[in-house]
Amino acid sequence: MDMAYFPFDDQTCMMEFGSWSYHGLHLNLFNDSYVLDDIALDFGEWDVLELTWHRKITYRECCDEPFPTLALKFHLRRRILYYFINLLLPCMVLLAVNPLVFLLPAGTGERIGFCMTIQLSVVVFLQVVSEHTPQTADSIPLIEQFFTATIFLVGSTVMTNIFLLYIHYKGMLHIPVPGWMRTLVLIHLARLTGMTGTAQTFSKISPMDYVEDLIIENMDTDFDSRPPSMMSGLHSAKPPTTALEKDDFLHHKVDLLYRKLADTTRSIDAKVRTMSRQMTRQSTQYFLTFEWRCVGLVLDRFLMYMTILVTIIISVAIFTQAPHF
């Protein structure tokens, strides 16, 4: 039995009728074709496409008498409705749902579990198919090829999703997106996958440009220098000329006031610089995370389209081998 195209296979069954004890002079066999034409043959799992038979006469070494035999040939075709409804259709649905895993948000944590559920379901179907096929088959049945290809395809989806999750959270490592990846993914692949808004945004301005401008602006701010207006006001103040003691007293009070203002200014300067560094770090972290997530979103869309394309190619390549589908 050739199981290469199971369950889309045709089988040929040969049956031969004859007598070992009586020769043709005692028992003569002949075919009566009109009898079988009137019999409705129903094999359940099979459709009888053709039934032919012919009469053969053989001579044995022991005897001179002829020994007639009748050889029947059944051309059968397997009915695929049972296998299509119970095995192929569920696997096709799972295979169609598989690319949609790339639409799940990466932050939900359901991607890997979804893929593994699909893969385990296909493995169960493969075990059911193996129970319906002979273990001594010389070739791999077509349906097993389809299930095996589906397992490898879902497995590759799991690996790509692990990589995409790494890309999605790579911004937390404070690593900027390389220039070649930014150009390839955020501009070219974004346009190729229809994400024109992302491509236009990143082709005009980089989010890191804002962070660099913010750092330069903060570094250029100098709070150590004393306010010239305060200094000029203090030096321009003219003490009274009528009393020397009063003049010394006023100079002393002004000096104390200036020292307090200087201490307050330095304290404000330290706090402002600390806040500036914190804002710079937060802005850098935000834009690094934003850029890596954009890379992940574009790769999600691209790999979803590639998975759909590979699924169609594999399905067509396997099922076009079947003699009838």
Asked whether residue 219 carries a pLDDT value surpassing 60, the answer given is no
| Section 92-96 average pLDDT | 93
Would the CA dihedral through 239, 245, 251, 256 be positive or negative?
negative
Q: What is the largest CA-CA distance in the chain?
A: 165
Asked whether residue 30 carries a pLDDT value surpassing 90, the answer given is no
217 or 192: which leads in pLDDT: 192
Asked whether residue 221 carries a pLDDT value surpassing 60, the answer given is no
Phi, psi of 249 (to 5 degrees): -65, -45
Q: pLDDT (tens digit, 9 = 90+) per residue, 66-76?
A: 888 888 888 88
| Section 208-216 average pLDDT | 48
What pTM, to 2 d.p., does this model score?
0.71
- In angstroms, what CA-CA distances link 127 with 114, 124, 147? 20, 5, 10
Which band of pLDDT confidence, cut at 50, 70 and 90, is reported for residue 44?
Answer: confident
Domains contained in the chain, CATH given: 10-79 (no CATH), 82-206+299-319 (1.20.58.390)
Count the neighbouring beta carbons within 10 Å of the beta carbon of residue 244: 10
Q: What percent of the chain has pLDDT over 90?
A: 21
Which band of pLDDT confidence, cut at 50, 70 and 90, is reported for residue 300?
Answer: very high
The Cα–Cα gap between 4 and 78 comes to 13
Q: pLDDT (tens digit, 9 = 90+) per residue, 254-289?
A: 777 777 787 788 788 777 777 777 776 667 667 788
Most confident of 26-40, 55-69, 123-137, 294-308: 294-308
Q: pLDDT (tens digit, 9 = 90+) per residue, 111-141?
A: 888 889 998 999 998 888 888 777 766 788 8
Contact indicator for 77, 10 with CB cutoff of 8 Å: yes
* SS3 state of residue 73: strand
Q: What is the pLDDT of residue 237?
A: 45
